[in-house]
Structure 1
Amino acid sequence: MLNRPAGRADGRASAHYSLTHRCPDEHVIALAGNPNTGKSTVFNALTGLRQHTGNWPGKTVDLAFGRADLGGKQAVVVDLPGAYSLLACSEDESIARDFLCEQGPDAVIVVVEAGCLERNLNLVLQILELTTRVVVCVNLIDEANRRGIQVDGEALERELGVPVALTAASTGYGLEELRRILADLVDGRLKPEPSPITYPTDIEDASRELESRLPTLPPAVSRRYVALRLLDTDPLTRQRIVEAIYRRAKSISDKVVSQATSSIQTSKTTMKPGIDDVLTSRWLGLPIMLALLGGVFWITLVGANYPSALLARALFHMESWLSAAFRAAHAPDWLHGAVVLGAYRTMAWVVSVMLPPMAIFFPLFTLLEDLGYLARVSFNMDWCFRQCGAHGKQSLTMAMGFGCNAAGAMACRIIDSPRERLVAILTNNFAPCNGRFPTLIALASLIAAGSLPASLLVVTMVLLGVTATLGMSWALSRTVLRGVPSSFILELPPYRMPQVAQVLLRSLYDRTLLVLRRAVIVAAPAGVVVWVLANMTTPGGSNVLATIARTLQPAAALMGLDGFILTAFILGLPANEIVLPILVMAYSSSTALVETAGFAVLGRILAANGWTWLTALNTMIFSVLHFPCSTTLLTIAAETKSLRWTALAALMPTAVAIVVCCATHAVARLLGLV
């Protein structure tokens, strides 16, 4: 039975947090659940943070911390990686299990999907064997109701013996009730009494015998849980334990879930398989994927030109005010050059060239993600990865890489096999990230006349990255990382109508402004460095930047590039976003960026420095295939714990980029195209 007192609690926004900074009087609340149940959305609602959410499994691969106020009491909320079971051995599920066992949270919120309650109860029942301080959050209740599925929260509470909150976290429904329950639970006013699972008699007897013989355990660890884990090392016993859990989950689900059977509801629930028959078709799946991707880039190119030019005029108009202020303050020329001509102009280029396409591309990409389409893309790509000796989950980590390669490398934790995980980490950089898309879009607009051909060219570059990922996965799986690919099951999430306002705000804050902020922070010091190099002279009379470019020129010429392009990529190691601004600064005859920006002006600058369509094409190819940025390299080092693999992650894509660029340049010259 469960006694539930009245009370109230309010969530409050907080900064990123860590248990190492936990105050003595703060409670710790763990957030667990199956992948794709809206767990991260619940986390964001409780803490006010903006952890990335999306309609596909595997996004949370590490612990995320936030702080919430529960009726005047401070609480640390820890978002655990999604897990289907505590009995599994994948790294992300091990992280969730180890935290629950070792940290002993004051409460555990288990988020379950209302429309798939029977399957989700498997994890709930396992966690109840570990701790009694559990709140079950039945999320996506609105979606279930639309499908004719009704969940009796009070009946579920009686069956489990723990409090239950019915929520729709994306709209805020039920979250106040969840906060109130949490406040009562952590303060001790609510004392759950969960009903234990009854296993076969021989397992129960063996469990009690083991419990009596176990040494002293930490307070957070249940003796029954440890005894059962010792018993399930035997495959047959493990199977019987799992079957007992599933029988109990089905029994509870049958009692608390009711399904409408009207023809209207039936048509709604059967619509998804019909759509998936098309979107995941062997013959239509990939063409539809390419068409959607091309459409996204076409809209981006059409919409970005005018705002980019308008923003450039405004930003560079402000430069005259800054210069006037420096003159009025009688600042030395070197200070004016470094700050205004170096740092400010570089930032102005970054903002004017990157912001408009990002502000269009990321909301469109997020709409596809929230709709549930990214999981279908991964499904379509699974066969390709398996043929290359890689794990099918690598398609998910590659999709993460399109946002950020560092995040993609971390997402490889969802792959169980160490060999396949390493293959995924080493090849993730071939997926063009946020920082490279603005460069690709800008250069594509210079090569192809018209938005449609330019968008097709960007799609071609994305396909080049995917092809490189598959090719190098195949090569690694047959050389230094030999092995047979393991199978996996991918859960296709239901299609969900995106909330456009939330998508716009989240993509603007989480992606557009975040990437832009990172680019600006890196661009300012990079602009100063480039300005200094362009104004320092060598004994021969030329500046240092030109000397570096001249040294790299012979190698660059073989690749269809020039020394300044390679110099820009090297100096752009901190962030891919700043490669193009550095290149324009390096080209400027006045050792500073020109006083305007935009795609049209960019084309004139590059053409004046000897660029042809082949130069732009090879620069795009090198941008897609070259070495990772410093953030990604540091992440790879942390994930692999090996300098050797990190070095390979830098050298391998660079070698591929050099070979492909040299081949492209040689073929074009052989055919007389330049």
Structure 2
Amino acid sequence: MEIHTLAELPEGGGAVIAQVGTPPEEREQLAERGITAGAAVTCKLRGAGGSPVAVSVHGVTVALRAETCEKITLRAVKLPKVWLLAGNPNAGKSTLFNALTGLRQHTGNWCGKTVSGVEGYLRYGGARIRLIDTPGTYSVKSETAEEGTAAELLRDTPHSCILCVIDATAPLRGLVLLLELLELDSRIVLLCNLSDEAQRAGIRTDLQALEARLGIPVLGVTARDRRSLRQIPAAAERAAALRNPCREPKPREQLYAEARSLMAEAFAMPPEPHPRTDAADRLLTGKYLRIPLMAALLLLTFWLTLTGAAYPSEWLERGLCALCDWLSRLCAARAVPSWLSGALIDGMLRGTCRVVAVMLPPMAIFFPLFTLLEDIGILPRIAFGCDRCCAKCGACGKQALTMTMGFGCNAVGVTGCRIIGSRREQLIAILTNSLVPCNGRFPSLIAVVTVFFAGQGAAGSLKAACMMTLLILLSAAVTAFWSFVLSRTLLRGEPSAFVLEMPPYRRPQTGTVLLRALCDRTVFVLGRAAVIAAPVSLLIWVLANVRIGSQTALLQTAAWLEPFGRLLGLDGVLLLAFLLGFPANEIV
């Protein structure tokens, strides 16, 4: 990509000004700030829509409108190093991205997890390198939403090289994508990921022969093993220096023929690479067992959550209450005004502590268990088992994947609906995703079930787990019902073709699962709940302690809401509780 003007210079890019072609008065103003011919300039950042542009000249940052930047021509453009990460869905790109950048981008053993570009940074040789993880794609010529995003990023983003990740246990489609990428750019590193699994499956690889045939660096890596990734930066630098001409475009049939030739030369495949998983697939996707097994998995997950969280919740509440009592005594000893200590400790702190005690233990157990199911590869099997029901409802089986994404966060579930090919079915999945309880509602559901249905001992936990399972199955049934209604009314149409890749079962990384579940899900939800619970708890304390006449403001507000509550079949107290919990359902 050639850059001629300052307006085209990307963030982080540096160049030398060749000519300032603005009107004389404006040119004089720019010259006073050092923007003259021969000056080195760096683009720092851009405003919304690309204007204004902040540039650094002689150590001073100056903001200019895009119209002015278009009149400033450049020479000796120095672009920042940008590596693009490309590959098929579920080839391990996001895991590799996390390993290289140190970020914790969400990963999962199913296709379509990444639906937009994600960027991070790494350092090599003293340079700061920008790494962009593109959505998984089978072809850069595809027109589906997520694959179109990947193709657009690969074609239009200025870059130093492309890291093409393929699955070494099933390399054919990855090689086809590689050949398509070589038609766009020759600066490519081929990364044969999952080399450890390929070795265990008896697949023998000849990467040197592949490198000689393609004329690009080829590495065998395991994204989960950081030691195998150390040679990637050096290979990327070698690829960035390549000046080979791009390949001539070929029809897809010829690309497949060439990919088969490459595969026959470099990969010795055994006849049955994954025979042990067939029995598990027959159980999880069987005609009669799939629904009972799904319900049993839910039941086991909730039983472990409720059983494991009972005593820690009690101990945590006692400890936090003891802390609040100690702080109250300390404030009394220091002669702190009672209204101040009451508002801060009895109101804000004690209310927040109750939320933490109720929510933290269940989330710390449930989210790691759910993440384990993701990493093992259970979710695509659930989508497989749900497709027949979804088709009868006029929806797509992939909606089951977006529903399970909604368990983590409904916003993520809605974004994930891009993996559904049909626009009509996308809208159905988007409109019904909010019917699935998200991670913010799970602690509230668990708390309600524990209070009203749980008993003592293992039997009580089992009873509560059964109730939670029924609630989740009820939400799935309601989702199916409204999908059916929408497909027969506002969004009429026939179900589209169902094409879903079934990934192999994989052993999850327990440490990574725990870190991701606790830090990215538990702490996030708990932090949001605590931030909102603190001011709401303070408001409740103020309303409960400020008197208006003979009654507190809390009772006065409830009495004022009584007529409105009766219209909804409630009373004023329940309606007030609903309104106080409106900012976030975690504090209800």
TM-score range, shorter chain: 0.7 to 0.9
Tell me the equivalent position of 2:29: none
Tell me the equivalent position of 2:247: 196
Task: Say if 1:392 and 1:487, in contact at 8 Å, map to a contact too.
Answer: no
- Other structure's SS at 2:302 match: helix
| Deviations, residues 603-642 of structure 1 (Å, cap 9, x unaligned) | xxxxxxxxxxxxxxxxxxxxxxxxxxxxxxxxxxxxxxxx
| Deviations, residues 337-391 of structure 1 (Å, cap 9, x unaligned) | 3322232122211211111111111111111111111111111111111111112
Separation in 2, partners of 1:398, 1:81: 20
Does 2:213 match 1:159? yes
- Other structure's SS at 2:432 match: helix
Aligned 1:583-602 pairs, distance under 5 A? none
Does 2:139 match 1:81? no
* Aligned with 2:317 (options 312, 317, 333): 312
Change in CA separation of 1:27 and 1:294 when aligned onto 2, cut-off 3 Å? same
Cα RMSD after superposing both structures:
2.6
* Aligned with 2:188 (options 125, 134, 139): 134
Separation in 1, partners of 2:197, 2:188: 24
Separation in 1, partners of 2:252, 2:290: 36
| Deviations, residues 174-219 of structure 1 (Å, cap 9, x unaligned) | 210112222444xx5x3163773674xxxxxxxxxxxxxxxxxxxx
Tell me the equivalent position of 1:36: 90
Separation in 1, partners of 2:539, 2:55: 40
Q: CA deviation at 1:403?
A: 0.8
Separation in 2, partners of 1:342, 1:148: 64
| Deviations, residues 499-529 of structure 1 (Å, cap 9, x unaligned) | 2232222222222222222222222223233
Identity of aligned residues (%): 47
* Aligned with 2:257 (options 247, 258, 266): 247
Separation in 1, partners of 2:180, 2:438: 38
The one of the two structures with greater contact order (alpha-carbon pairs below 8 A, sep at least 6) is 1
* Aligned with 1:570 (options 569, 579, 585): 579
* Aligned with 1:491 (options 475, 480, 501): 501
Separation in 2, partners of 1:119, 1:191: 24
* Aligned with 1:373 (options 355, 368, 378): 378
| Deviations, residues 441-466 of structure 1 (Å, cap 9, x unaligned) | 22212233311111000000001110
Equivalent AA in structure 1 for residue 256 of structure 2: Y
Separation in 1, partners of 2:335, 2:283: 68
Aligned 1:139-538 pairs, distance under 5 A? 139-185=193-239, 188=240, 190-191=241-242, 193=244, 196=247, 199=250, 241-260=251-270, 266=272, 269-327=274-332, 330-448=335-453, 449=455, 450-537=460-547
Task: Say if 1:160 and 1:195, in contact at 8 Å, map to a contact too.
Answer: no
Tell me the equivalent position of 2:4: none
Equivalent AA in structure 2 for residue 163 of structure 1: P
Residue-pair matches, total = 513
For structure 1, which segment, 510-519 or 430-439, has the greater mean C-alpha deviation from structure 2 after superposition? 510-519
Task: Say if 1:112 and 1:138, in contact at 8 Å, map to a contact too.
Answer: yes
Separation in 2, partners of 1:301, 1:407: 26
| Deviations, residues 545-587 of structure 1 (Å, cap 9, x unaligned) | 43444455567678776544443343333332222xxxxxxxx
Change in CA separation of 1:573 and 1:96 when aligned onto 2, cut-off 3 Å? farther
- Other structure's SS at 1:382 match: helix
- Other structure's SS at 2:230 match: helix
Does 2:81 match 1:72? no
Task: Say if 1:70 and 1:182, in contact at 8 Å, map to a contact too.
Answer: no
Change in CA separation of 1:545 and 1:274 when aligned onto 2, cut-off 3 Å? same
For structure 1, which segment, 420-429 or 500-509, has the greater mean C-alpha deviation from structure 2 after superposition? 500-509
* Aligned with 1:63 (options 103, 117, 128): 117
Q: CA deviation at 1:537?
A: 4.8
Change in CA separation of 1:480 and 1:110 when aligned onto 2, cut-off 3 Å? same
Task: Say if 1:27 and 1:105, in contact at 8 Å, map to a contact too.
Answer: yes
Change in CA separation of 1:251 and 1:171 when aligned onto 2, cut-off 3 Å? same
Change in CA separation of 1:161 and 1:352 when aligned onto 2, cut-off 3 Å? same
Equivalent AA in structure 2 for residue 433 of structure 1: C
What runs of 5+ residues in structure 1 fail to find an aligned partner? 1-16, 200-240, 580-674
Q: CA deviation at 1:330?
A: 4.7
Change in CA separation of 1:316 and 1:19 when aligned onto 2, cut-off 3 Å? farther
Separation in 2, partners of 1:462, 1:143: 35
Q: CA deviation at 1:328?
A: 5.4
Does 2:547 match 1:546? no
What runs of 5+ residues in structure 2 fail to find an aligned partner? 1-43, 48-53, 57-77
Change in CA separation of 1:573 and 1:133 when aligned onto 2, cut-off 3 Å? farther
Equivalent AA in structure 2 for residue 574 of structure 1: P
Equivalent AA in structure 1 for residue 185 of structure 2: T
Does 2:115 match 1:110? no
Tell me the equivalent position of 1:632: none
Equivalent AA in structure 1 for residue 424 of structure 2: R
Change in CA separation of 1:534 and 1:165 when aligned onto 2, cut-off 3 Å? farther
Structure number having the greater strand percentage: 2
Task: Say if 1:18 and 1:65, in contact at 8 Å, map to a contact too.
Answer: no
Separation in 1, partners of 2:404, 2:507: 21
Separation in 1, partners of 2:208, 2:246: 15
Separation in 2, partners of 1:496, 1:22: 48
Q: CA deviation at 1:326?
A: 3.9
Task: Say if 2:195 and 2:222, in contact at 8 Å, map to a contact too.
Answer: yes
- Other structure's SS at 2:513 match: helix
Task: Say if 1:383 and 1:392, in contact at 8 Å, map to a contact too.
Answer: yes
- Other structure's SS at 2:363 match: helix
Equivalent AA in structure 1 for residue 230 of structure 2: E
Change in CA separation of 1:569 and 1:141 when aligned onto 2, cut-off 3 Å? farther
Task: Say if 2:185 and 2:246, in contact at 8 Å, map to a contact too.
Answer: no
Task: Say if 1:290 and 1:459, in contact at 8 Å, map to a contact too.
Answer: yes
For structure 1, which segment, 76-85 or 286-295, has the greater mean C-alpha deviation from structure 2 after superposition? 76-85
Task: Say if 2:184 and 2:246, in contact at 8 Å, map to a contact too.
Answer: no
Change in CA separation of 1:312 and 1:386 when aligned onto 2, cut-off 3 Å? same
Task: Say if 1:159 and 1:195, in contact at 8 Å, map to a contact too.
Answer: no
| Deviations, residues 117-145 of structure 1 (Å, cap 9, x unaligned) | 01111221212211222111111111111
Change in CA separation of 1:105 and 1:334 when aligned onto 2, cut-off 3 Å? farther
* Aligned with 2:149 (options 95, 99, 105): 95
For structure 1, which segment, 35-44 or 167-176, has the greater mean C-alpha deviation from structure 2 after superposition? 167-176
Task: Say if 2:186 and 2:243, in contact at 8 Å, map to a contact too.
Answer: yes
Separation in 2, partners of 1:487, 1:548: 55
Change in CA separation of 1:547 and 1:37 when aligned onto 2, cut-off 3 Å? farther
